[in-house]
Amino acid sequence: MDVNITKRIDTPDGRRFCRVIFTPNGRIKPDWVEVDERQEKHPEGAYYLDWTEDGQRRRVAVGSDPTAAYNSLKKKQSELDAIARGLVVTDPVEESTRVRLRAAQADFLEDIQLSRQRKTWLGYCLSLSYFTECCSKTYVEDIERKDLLRFVVFLRDEKELAPRTVHNKFAELLTFLAAQGVPKLISKNDRPRFVDQEVEIYEDHQLLALHSACSLYHSTQYDFYLMSGFREQEAMHVQWENIHFNSNVVEMRWKPQFRWMPKAYKEREVPVPTLLLDRLENYRRTLPGTRSSDPRWSP
């Protein structure tokens, strides 16, 4: 009996199991699989062992680490070879190939920390810590639909989170489970719902009251958000050189010195009114010499 190893990856046609690529020395080539006779690199997903036992096909997830997956493959093959020779296997390897929930979470969070913004990583850390708090399962493969439904109730009743936050935390958990290759456990109706509320509009008299209570810096900052439409991280990384007073444009540029990239990896130029540029210029004139020479307009 031979044991096969595949990786469950994302494709334009949905998730599928694909044959892994081996190096010349027989090890698994990390993240490389064969898709329709083409070799492609897919860092997402998890590795799976599959074999036939008692006439039935068996499949078990062995995590996202290629070295651990290879070791599980060799152990399982040795177990089946021993059974084929009539030997009694007293310590089945299958149990050792099961993925522990805490280990899978640590591996997933490390990937997020290396590839995403810190704010995103912190959000996943909190979501997975909540799930660990409410779910007593040891192995990823043991997670059931009811565990996910209990998670929703836990967030709502125990943590008293708002419906929109419950939805977001639930979505982050599903992303984690998908990365482990866990099959879809829920239906569309199982997802937590929230009311998509209308954005609150501030009237002119409310804005005047806000600005009257602000320092010049905060008043200028509010004006910048209002008149440019920049996101928080974008505004934080705007420098004076990105503000073109003569052409009424503010640039959003990649800032490798701050290890920051714009959303969707796209730079852009935003037209802004003269009123905003005048207020920025007035603010700059109030800065002391050391601050006025700082390339960033917003500390």
Could you give the 3-state DSSP secondary structure of residue 270? strand
94-103, 156-165, 264-273: range with highest mean pLDDT: 156-165
* 237-256 pLDDT tens trace: 899 999 999 999 999 998 88
Q: Give the confidence band of 265 by pLDDT, cuts at 50, 70, 90.
A: confident
294 pLDDT more than 80: no
Residues 26 and 21: their CA atoms lie apart, in Å, by 9
CATH class of 204-292: mainly alpha
95-109, 158-172, 179-193, 284-298: range with highest mean pLDDT: 158-172
Per-residue model confidence (pLDDT) at position 93: 47
Q: 101 burial class (0-12, 13-18, 19+ CB within 10 angstroms)? A: buried
279 pLDDT more than 70: yes
Asked if residue 151 lies in contact with residue 135, where contact means CB atoms within 8 angstroms, the answer is yes
What six digits make up the tokens of 114?
């290396």
Residues 297 and 299: their CA atoms lie apart, in Å, by 6
Q: 98 burial class (0-12, 13-18, 19+ CB within 10 angstroms)? A: middle
Q: Give the confidence band of 230 by pLDDT, cuts at 50, 70, 90.
A: very high
Could you give the 3-state DSSP secondary structure of residue 71? helix
Domain segments of the chain as ranges: 4-97, 101-190, 204-292
Which residue has better confidence, 196 or 98?
A: 196
Per-residue model confidence (pLDDT) at position 91: 52
In the chain, what percentage of residues exceed pLDDT 70? 93
Per-residue model confidence (pLDDT) at position 259: 79
Helix axes 118-134, 145-153, angle to 10 degrees: 100
* 105-142 pLDDT tens trace: 988 898 888 888 888 999 999 999 999 999 988 889 88
Mean pLDDT of 180-195: 88
Vertex 100, ends 187 and 114: CA angle to 5°? 85
Q: Which residues of 171-186 are buried (b: 16+ CB within 10 A; e: fewer)?
A: ebbbebbbbbbbeeee
What six digits make up the tokens of 169?
């935390």
288 pLDDT more than 90: no
Task: Count the Cβ atoms, other than its own, within 10 Å of residue 266.
Answer: 9
CATH number of the structural domain 101-190: 1.10.150
Q: 113 burial class (0-12, 13-18, 19+ CB within 10 angstroms)? A: middle
Per-residue model confidence (pLDDT) at position 66: 87
Residues 21 and 27: their CA atoms lie apart, in Å, by 9
> Hey, do 101-190 and 204-292 end up sharing a CATH topology, with the first three levels equal?
no
Task: Count the Cβ atoms, other than its own, within 10 Å of residue 112.
Answer: 21
* 16-27 pLDDT tens trace: 999 999 998 888
161 contacts: CB under 8 Å, gap ≥ 6:
155, 169
296 pLDDT more than 80: no
Identify the sign of the CA torsion 136, 139, 142, 146.
positive
Mean pLDDT of 269-296: 83
Mean pLDDT of 269-285: 93
Vertex 266, ends 127 and 284: CA angle to 5°? 95
158: region left, alpha or beta (phi > 0 left; psi from -120 to 50 alpha)? alpha
Q: Give Cα 41 distance to the centre of its chain.
A: 19
Terminal C-alpha separation, the chain: 65
Mean pLDDT of 176-191: 88
